[in-house]
Amino acid sequence: MNKQTRLQLNHFFPETLGITSIEETDNQLTIQMKSLTKTSQCPKCYEVCHTHHNAYVRKAQDLPILGKTVFLEITLPTLMTDLIQLVMLKPSQRTILIF
């Protein structure tokens, strides 16, 4: 009897990453993941960022699973603070701020 067992890979990664696809060859696994995080903290001003500006992919080699080389492709968002968004606008698009 040939019974296949599915390996639950979600248990190996943080809850903030979701697996979007897995590509498998004879000697390699490529696991594509996406960040599930909706906010982050600006490293310069420490403001909480909510606005999704862009995305980028990080690629890394992980430890082998079942004798196969594992590569991770993680799509991460670039989040922006309101202040950064304001600075990126053309001067004609900016509103006057009164403090």
Output the pTM of the full model: 0.66
What local confidence, expressed as pLDDT, does residue 9 receive? Answer: 76
Mean pLDDT of the chain: 78
Confidence of residue 40 (pLDDT cuts 50, 70, 90): confident
Q: In what order do the strands lie in the sheet with 28-35?
A: 17-24, 28-35, 68-80, 51-65
pLDDT tens for each residue of 49-77: 777 777 889 999 999 988 999 999 999 88
SS3 content of the chain, % helix, strand, coil (to 5): 15, 50, 35
What local confidence, expressed as pLDDT, does residue 96 receive? Answer: 55
What local confidence, expressed as pLDDT, does residue 76 receive? Answer: 86
